[in-house]
Amino acid sequence: MNSPLAAGSLAGMTALVTGSSRGIGADTVRHFAAAGANIVINYRSKAPRAEKLLAELQAGGTEGLAVGADLTDPASVESMMQQVQDRFGRIDILVLNASGGMEAGMGEDYALRLNRDAQINVLTKALPLLHEGSRVVFVTSHQAHFIRTVPTMPEYGPVALSKRAGEDALREFIPQLEAAGIGFTVVSGDMIEGTVTATLLDRANPGAIEARKEAVGRLYNVSEFAAEVAQAAVDPVPADNTRLVGDVAYFTEYASTAGE
């Protein structure tokens, strides 16, 4: 895969990406590894998949860890951070990519626990390992980022609201992070072809992906969006701490006309 980051540009740095055994997280990890970073792959339960990705990266010379952690469990997150500290000493790039809420059998409050509470917990536990010059990136969707002004599909509503709650909670940390010289960027993307969420949405609302694609012309795929996430970790922090990826016309136009 073609990486947007220059080879060697992250040499000596350590990047932790949550939910990175597959999909956007895995490709983001690959981009960081291609730029020379040490990698921490976080997964909830799919150890073989995470270990396979780690082996792939190690074969290319990358130093890394694959760490299982339930992000909704503070003790589990603390254990992960301790392993990172013991191995690498610090975190230069933290990507808060893990999310969910459409899975079956996880409890009705799972979306909020994962998409808001766990995000706060991971950042809080990571703070001692972050330092001046570190970067934090939170990955979300337009459907969640704009949920306060633009309705989404009913099937995705609870997840979108919980992810927006997570984004709002993380933004409360910006003054503290800025004071410590740590950059924070929210990366929001349109529907991404090939993700678990898009697949579940299309299953619950058949034709949703195709309809969105027809409306905007094209959708980013997993690798393309991961490249934007990786780039956000090195580009200057936007003035509003927000990097919008993909079409936003529908969301901005809807919001501007909703009150008329």
At 154-163, the pLDDT tens digits run 878 888 999 9
- DSSP bridge partners of 66: 41
Q: How far apart are CA 86 and CA 140, in angstroms?
A: 30
Tell me, what's the pLDDT at 260?
A: 46
- Give SS3 for 6: coil
If one compares 225 and 2, the residue with the highest pLDDT of the two is 225
The two three-digit tokens of residue 184, written as one number: 């924070």
Predicted local confidence at residue 45, as pLDDT: 84
The CATH H-level (homologous superfamily) assignment of domain 14-257 is: NAD(P)-binding Rossmann-like Domain (3.40.50.720)
Domain spans in the chain, listed from the N-terminal domain onward: 14-257
Which residues, in sequence order, are CB contacts of 14 under 8 Å at separation 6+? 37, 38, 39, 40, 84, 88, 89, 90, 91, 92, 93
* 122-139: pLDDT as tens digits: 999 999 999 999 999 999
Decide which of 258 and 34 is more confident.
Answer: 34
Nearest partner of 242 among 189, 199, 179, 165, judged by Cα: 189
Helix (H) or strand (E) holding 252: helix 249-257
Q: Which of residues 222 and 136 earns the better pLDDT score?
A: 136
Contacts of 130 (CB under 8 A, 6+ apart): 90, 91, 94, 136, 180, 182
| Average pLDDT value for the chain | 90
> Could you read off the pLDDT of 52-111 as tens digits, one per residue?
999 999 999 999 999 999 999 999 999 999 999 999 999 999 999 998 766 655 666 888
- The pTM for the full model equals 0.92
Decide if pLDDT at 252 tops 90. no
